[in-house]
Every structure is written in structure tokens, then in C-alpha cells.
Chains A and B, each alone.
Chain A
Amino acid sequence: MASRQLRLIVNGEEHSVPCVDSETLLTVLRERLQLTGTKLGCGRGECGACTVLVDGRLAYSCLTLAAGCESTPITTVEGLGSAQALHPLQQAFIEHDALQCGFCTPGQLMAGVALLRDTAHPTPTQIRVAMSGNLCRCGTYAAIERAICAVAERSA
């Protein structure tokens, strides 16, 4: 399989990474760029653990070919905020205990951030529709809903 250099813009940083055409964005993020916050849960676009933003749009990175993301801005959980400067939704997840094992959390955060960006004050139904592509087996859903509502309430 032919390998080539791919220009990726991840969290505002430019990278040139070797990539095989058949490789997914998830593989390149995790195995080449060591951005392991984005998780592999199913590899079939079912669980949402691999959710990232590609050109501002939500994408399951396990179903997205890396080669198709050439020069396109990509945001992963590492680009949301840091422990010193958390994104408001990250802060709200902590305050509302919207995580247990934490494995699905990066994907949940990306989906939640995209929702709040498009809909500043989502209704409960809008939250449930927007977040239903992200599975959590620990059962943190109610807290996730509260965390999203809390951020929405804080934004005037």
C-alpha cells in the first residue's frame, strides 16, 4: 500500500504525516500524532467515541478517511481546552459529574460543543437528538444533559 505525506491541520497546528490512503482519520490522529484523546470504541460509526470536528462539522473519525481531510481544519478534544483553561462544557462536565470511566467523554464533549455552537439554548429534545449518536455504558446521560443545559443557561 502506497504511503504518502498528508498535510493535516489539527487544533490549529499543521502536521505533515505519513498516511496510507485506506487509513482513517482516527488511526492517523491516534497512532501518528499521538492525539489519543479521541477513542476507538466500535470502528463502525456506531458508538461516537471517535467524534471530532472536521471543518467545523461533527464526524465519526473511525469512518472518515484521513486522505479526505487534507488541509482541512480538524478539532479534537485536545483542542477544546486544557486543564488550566477548560472549555465551559468541560468545566460543566466536571461540576455535574457527567463522566464515570471517561472513555466516551471526549466524543460526548465534541458532540455537545457542536450542539451549543449551532443552538445556544437547546431544548431537551434537541439535546437528546443531537447527543444520541454518542453511547455511554456507565450511564452518565442525565448528567451530560444537565451539563449542556448549565452551559446554555450561562450564555446570555
Chain B
Amino acid sequence: MSRRFVATKVEVEGREEIKIVERPDLEPAPWDEHAALSVVGQRVPRVDAPEKVTGQARYTADVQRPAMLHAEFVRARVASGKVTRLDCSRALALPGVRGVITAEDVQTISHQGAPLFDTTIHWAGQPIAALCADTPDIARHACALVEVDIETSPHAVTIEDALGPSAPAVRPSGNTPKGQPRIASRGDAPAARAAADVVVTREYRTPCVLHTAIETHGAAAEWTGDALTVWESTQGIFQVRKDVARAFKLPLNRVRVVKDYMGGGFGAKNYAAAHTYAAVALARKLGRPVRCLVDREGEQTDTGNRPATRCHVTLGARRDGTLVSIECDATIAYGYSGWLASPAKIFHELYECPNVHTSETFVFLNAGAMDSFRAPGHTEGAFALECAMDALARELGIDPLDLRRRNYAPADQEKRRPYSAKHLDRCYAEGAERFGWTQRRVDAAESREHARRLRRGVGMASQIWPAGGGPPAYATVRINPDGTVDVLTGTQDLGTGSRTVFAQIAAESLGARLTDVRTVLGDTERTPYAGNSWGSMTTASVGPAVRVAALQARARVLEAAAELLESDVAQLELSESSVRVRDGDRSMTLAQIGRKLGDVMIIGEGSRGANPQDTAISAFAAQFAEVEVDVETGIVRVLHVTSAHDSGRIINPTLAESQLVGGIIQGLGYAVFEERVLDVATGRHLNPNTHDYKIPTIADIPVIDAFFVQSADPVANHTGARGVAEAPIIPTAPAIANAVADALGVEIAEIPLTPWRVLDALTGR
């Protein structure tokens, strides 16, 4: 008999982790491309849309508790220094102010890589204290009355300042992790380059960009005796439970974390942070519920970012376009902390090439910490790699699409393993067809012959992203006595549609009507464990657990029905919430069975089995863009984007396409508008709002045709689904930059393509 608990590899946002997994009791046969499915794959409306359009959906900021107080932060206005005086007496004397917490109240708790409320200042915007009052207005007013003296010290907010000879020590251990670059290599890239027919070398820069979820980070905390409830806008309820329990030394069964609805995450809301700890600590200190919402300035400054990069790329190729060497030397401007998301990884993965060498230098700065932002690493790296591929195509006189097809990677060369399935070739073909790649290129070129001011251009790029999901994840399916069905799983719906897709998977697997099924998630006390909603993992991780739970519930209800219908289980079929005896006219609905059974509760439990070992599970896409550039003003207008995706089986095409469109629009912001600006002299953030930090508006969006190539992936997991959410943002910026380069006849080396950058590119500056 095989062991019940086994170790398995799981990939999270490009990181590989070993996890212990409990094998499910049941590993059903996969839904392959011939599976006859009636609910899965349907374009059913989002199940929670009625709550959202009527304003009834409750977000963390909407939580109201009796006698609740409100907390706000005092933040450092300098980038580096030491707090020499912190006087809250005037603030505490303000009517309605109930208390304050500073470093001594929260010893051993950390925030963004430093002790919470640290008296040593590491970045401008770092929280120093939190004030608590009857209303948010009073708390804000009180913060302004806190007197802070900070003895400033030299700071570094640019790569050059942090690596220079007289650089201040951003971190005591040095301004780069372990004091050395991270190297990854296969073959002998320099030797292959020396023998190449053609070599292109370019340098690319990408900006630091901010998640800018419309709902800022926030938490509300309430103690009942020694038990704590935390409402948190989070992508990981169980992660927050773990963080809070550890910080306050509580048993896990005394901490409940609830997230009903959340207003966007995009990677920034994966852990407890200053706002969570402030709410919990103040609630304990003051004996009342406390809500702490990060304000917009704090959100833009102190809740994570996609770091800026500088990538030096060298590609070597034969005359026919075959890549012989890929090299990338990347420098990543990191902020005070973060994890080492790799812009170089995609250089090893996207194309077949025997010789690849990458070097990454991560640089700590006196600036807000990096955090995961939709496809961290790959999005930055793809800009450099895919722009360099276009430079190579021009050098060789080859169509950029042909160059990419010529270097198609049929297997994962980096780890020497097959893909569970890969249909990037179909993405290239179907995307090019729907975009009209060949004709549009010709048309754009012709239009440029007589357009003096408005120049059109087309470009493309492609992408790969790990999207297999994996264990552990659990689900429970309950059939109530009235025939309705509850699906309980401890995952989150970020607006991605997980409530809907898990209801669809459960209805399909059980044989219930979709309208009878409700998904309950986002509550550590009501639901079994599921992991963070990150890394495009949720559907592929939780979906199989839901399917197993529903199948187990189905088997049990059929046993009950066999008894009630005086039949044999093998003779029964269950669909549309009704059990029928084959070759007969007897049937019972789930509601009728429930009534007969009384309060017997049919419960099915499911878990996520291991991924196939030594198999790469990824999402693929090819994206095509057309732009129009005004050469007098430098304004770039993106006119059309076509995006073809392979993510295995799609549970709900409408919702999945919405995610593709959303990712492309975020990618458009990255390409054209978005850029955090820090003042080099003071280290302060100059655009910490949504006016000066430009995210796309409805007026900026092109025609977007985003779709999935039809496929199922029975190797990845038994639902056949792979991840969707992160893939679409990865190729957008390079596709747009390549289109701009086509329009102008000038290469693009840096984003965002704001007017002055475009004009500089035109004038060769």
C-alpha cells in the first residue's frame, strides 16, 4: 500500500517549494478533451454579482462592530535616520483620542523587513506609531499633532547611490543579498556568442510600479476573551491567521480571519502587515474593536511594489534565426526588503537555446519594500527579452513572429522535463490569424508612407508562466435536507470568480443544479484549509479538491437513494439535482431524499493530490498590439490588442476572459503610464496618489480581443485547468513597445512610454 503522506514539488510564482501532501482517498479520472461536461465550461454569470451591483457586498472597510475605534498611522517623512523624540501628549489630549501604540507595544513583530514602528528609519513612509480614536477623522487629526524629531542620515533611493563607493549601508548586512549576484547558467553562452553569426546587445529599463488596488489594505480586529477575530482584505486568510497567531503568541484555534469580499489584491495582500498588527494590538490594549484602514498615500508608499529593473541583454543567433546564446545581466532596485522575484527566469524558459547565462543583482534601497505584483519577475524580464527578440528580428530581417516560432521550446529545457501540455504554437497561429498580423504589418507600413504626424505600428510578444497550482487544498461539500448544497473551502475570491467556478465544479461533479449550490469561502473558522490566492494557483489547486468532495458526497447520496428507491447504486444516475433509476421511471430529487433522511447530513470531503512529478505545468500566451504614435506630442495610443492564451481547461470562459482583459489593461498601464517617482534628494515619494500616479482609465483602453485556445490538460490535474490570472500582463509591455518601435523606426529601451520618453527616443537622446 502506498504511503498516505508524501513529499511533492509545488511551484509558487516561479519559486519551487517542497510540500508534504496527503493523498486524497479518491483520484478520479481526469476530465480530458472528450469529457462530456454541462456546467463546467459554461459562461454562467458571476454568482456574487448581484451583491456587488447593489452595494450589499461587505468589504473589510464596511465592517462595523459595536463601539469600534479607528486607527491611523504616523509615518516617517525622511528616508533614513533615527527617531530621537516621539511625543504623543498633544495628540492624546485631543477629545475622542483613545490611545497610541509605538515600538514598545509590538516588540518582536516585524513589518516590511524591519521591526514594526522601528525607531530607526529605513524608508520614507515607514510607520512610527498608530493613533486610535472614535472616528478616522479624529485619528488623522491626532496623527498630525504627534511631534517627531528624526536625526537624518544619508539615504540611497537609486541603484547608483546604493552601489556607489560612498554608499550608505541600507541594511547592516550590505546593500545586496549575500553581497553577490545570483547566477544561473546552462551550456556555455559566451563561447556560443563568439561563434554566432549575429549578436545583438541592448539595455532595457523598467519602472517601479504600484498595485493601486482601489480598496486599500485594511483590517478590523475584535477580541472576545482570549479569542480574536480579524477581518482583513487579504489574498490569504490562513496566512494572516498564521502571521497574527505568531505575532501575538496565540494558539491557531483562537484566531479567526474573515475575508468576505475584497477590492483587489494583485499580489500586495498576501500577509498580515502594520495595519493588521496595529488593529489587533490596539484592540487588545483598549478593550474595544479597532479598524485600521491604510490611506491612499500609505497604500502607494508602504504596501509593496514591482521593483524597477535594468537589464543588459545579449542574444546570439545563426543567420536563420536559431538562437545560440542568451545572456542577461539584471539589476533590480529592490526597496528595503522583499523576496527575490527573478526577471532572469523567463530567459531560461521561453525559447529553446542550449546556452543561457543570467546574472541578477538585487539592490536594497531606502524605499518601500518590494512585494509580489501580478507575475513578479517575468513581467519585468519579458520586457527586456521580448524587445531584444524584436531587435534580433530586425537585424536578421526576419518577421518577429517567425523568429519566435523558429526558437520554439517543446520541453522545459531548464529543468529537462516535459510540459503537461503546451499549445503556444496554437496561440501564435490563432492569435496572428485573429489579429491579422501579416496584413496589419503591411497596412501599418503603408500608412506610414504618407502619415507625417500619426504613425501606426504593430508588435507582438509571448510569455510563459508557472500555473500548475498544487497541494495542499481542501474542500467540503454538504447536501442540506432541502437539497441545497454548500461548498466550503478556505480560499478567497479576489474578484477572480472563484466563488463561481467552484460552484460550477461542484455542480458538475455532484450532478446538482448550479442554482442549488453556494460557495462559502474566506473564513478560517468555517472552511478547511486552502492556500493563498497567488501565483495563478487557486483554480488548479482548489478545483480538484472541490471535485473530489462533490464526488464523495455524490457517492453517499446515491447510497441513500438506493435504499429509498429500493434499487442498486449501479442503476442510479444523478443529474439536475435528481436521482433516477436507469431503465425505469422512478426518481427522487435531492430535496425529496433530504426530506426522507431528515437531519442526516451528507458530507463529502476532498483534498488536492500531488502534481505529476518532473513535469512542467505552465500557462502560455501570444499577444499582438497595434499603436498610433503622435510624433509631435509623443503621445502613444494603443489601438488594438489580441491575446491568445493556453491555460488548459477553462471553467468559465466569460470570467477567465475578464481576467485576461484586466491583465492586459494593467500591462498597458505598465507600458505607457505608470511609474513611482522618488525624490532623489529627500527620498520621498512624489506621486503617492491616483492623480499623479496614472493607472489606465476607460478613455485609454484599446479594442481587446482576448481568448483561449481550446484545450484540456488531463496531465496537470484531474480538472484539466491551469492558472489564468498572471499570464496576460507579461507580454503586454513588450508587445506595445515593439509596436511603438515599428511605428517610429526607433528602438524603445525604457518604459513607461510617456510623451517625453517617446520624444527623447525620436531625437536620439
Q: Which residues of A does B touch, CB under 8 Å?
A: 20, 22-23, 27, 30-31, 34-44, 46-47, 49, 76-78, 80-83, 86, 90, 93-95, 97, 99-106, 109, 127-129, 131-132, 134-145
- Contact partner of A43 (CB less than 8 A), chosen from B56, B266, B295, B496, is B295
- Say yes or no: B58 contacts A36, CB within 8 Å: yes
- Say yes or no: A41 contacts B296, CB within 8 Å: yes
If A135-B690, A139-B662 touch, does A101 touch B53 (CB 8 Å cutoff)? no
Residues of chain A with a CB closer than 8 A to B136's CB: 27, 31
Q: How far is the CB of A68 from chain B (nearest CB, A)?
A: 16
- Say yes or no: A46 contacts B689, CB within 8 Å: yes
- Say yes or no: A137 contacts B264, CB within 8 Å: yes
- Contact partner of A129 (CB less than 8 A), chosen from B262, B661, B699, is B699
- Say yes or no: B135 contacts A136, CB within 8 Å: no
- Say yes or no: A41 contacts B664, CB within 8 Å: no
Nearest CB in chain B to that of A77: its residue: B55
- Say yes or no: A41 contacts B49, CB within 8 Å: no
Q: How far is the CB of B289 from chain A (nearest CB, A)?
A: 14
Nearest CB in chain A to that of B261: its residue: A102
B655 located at the interface, meaning its Cβ lies under 8 Å from any Cβ of chain A in the complex: yes
- Say yes or no: B690 contacts A47, CB within 8 Å: yes
A-B contact pairs, 11 of them (CB 8 A): A36-B58, A37-B56, A39-B59, A39-B215, A43-B295, A46-B690, A99-B49, A103-B261, A141-B696, A142-B704, A143-B658
- Say yes or no: A34 contacts B698, CB within 8 Å: no
Q: Mark B47-66, 1 if CB is under 8 A from A, else 0.
A: 01111111111110110100
Q: How far is the CB of A86 from chain B (nearest CB, A)?
A: 7
If A100-B662, A137-B213, A139-B661 touch, does A83 touch B697 (CB 8 Å cutoff)? no
If A102-B495, A141-B701 touch, does A97 touch B54 (CB 8 Å cutoff)? no
Cα distance, A31 to B134, chains bound together (Å) = 11
If A49-B214, A139-B661 touch, does A99 touch B46 (CB 8 Å cutoff)? yes
Q: Which 5 A-B pairs have the closest CB atoms?
A: A37-B55, A103-B263, A101-B495, A102-B52, A139-B662
Cα distance, A129 to B699, chains bound together (Å) = 7
Residues of chain B with a CB closer than 8 A to A49's CB: 214
If A38-B55, A95-B45, A100-B658 touch, does A139 touch B663 (CB 8 Å cutoff)? yes
Cα distance, A100 to B664, chains bound together (Å) = 14
Residues of chain B with a CB closer than 8 A to A145's CB: 698
Nearest CB in chain B to that of A105: its residue: B52
Cα distance, A83 to B50, chains bound together (Å) = 6
Q: How far is the CB of A91 from chain B (nearest CB, A)?
A: 8
- Known contacts A128-B699, A137-B214; 6 additional CB pairs below 8 A are A102-B52, A102-B263, A135-B214, A135-B695, A138-B658, A139-B665
Cα distance, A80 to B59, chains bound together (Å) = 20
Residues of chain B with a CB closer than 8 A to A30's CB: 62
Interface residue ranges of B22-72 to A (CB < 8 Å): 45-46, 48-59, 61-62, 64
Cα distance, A28 to B266, chains bound together (Å) = 30
- Say yes or no: A86 contacts B662, CB within 8 Å: no
Residues of chain A with a CB closer than 8 A to B214's CB: 39, 41, 47, 49, 101, 103-104, 135-137
B80 located at the interface, meaning its Cβ lies under 8 Å from any Cβ of chain A in the complex: no
- Say yes or no: A82 contacts B54, CB within 8 Å: yes
Most-contacted residue by chain B among A27, A41, A99, A109 (CB, 10 A): A41
Cα distance, A30 to B70, chains bound together (Å) = 14
B212 located at the interface, meaning its Cβ lies under 8 Å from any Cβ of chain A in the complex: yes
- Say yes or no: A83 contacts B54, CB within 8 Å: yes
Cα distance, A44 to B58, chains bound together (Å) = 23
If A46-B691, A99-B49 touch, does A138 touch B701 (CB 8 Å cutoff)? no
Residues of chain B with a CB closer than 8 A to A27's CB: 135-137
- Say yes or no: B54 contacts A102, CB within 8 Å: no
- Say yes or no: B215 contacts A101, CB within 8 Å: yes
Cα distance, A44 to B691, chains bound together (Å) = 9
Cα distance, A39 to B262, chains bound together (Å) = 12
Residues of chain A with a CB closer than 8 A to B213's CB: 101, 103, 137
B616 located at the interface, meaning its Cβ lies under 8 Å from any Cβ of chain A in the complex: no
B185 located at the interface, meaning its Cβ lies under 8 Å from any Cβ of chain A in the complex: no
Residues of chain A with a CB closer than 8 A to B689's CB: 42, 44, 46
Q: How far is the CB of A107 from chain B (nearest CB, A)?
A: 9
Cα distance, A22 to B54, chains bound together (Å) = 29
B593 located at the interface, meaning its Cβ lies under 8 Å from any Cβ of chain A in the complex: no
Cα distance, A11 to B211, chains bound together (Å) = 34
Cα distance, A145 to B702, chains bound together (Å) = 12
Residues of chain B with a CB closer than 8 A to A77's CB: 53-55
Nearest CB in chain A to that of B211: its residue: A137
- Say yes or no: B53 contacts A90, CB within 8 Å: yes
Cα distance, A129 to B55, chains bound together (Å) = 24
- Say yes or no: B665 contacts A141, CB within 8 Å: yes
Residues of chain B with a CB closer than 8 A to A105's CB: 52-53
- Contact partner of A39 (CB less than 8 A), chosen from B137, B263, B699, is B263
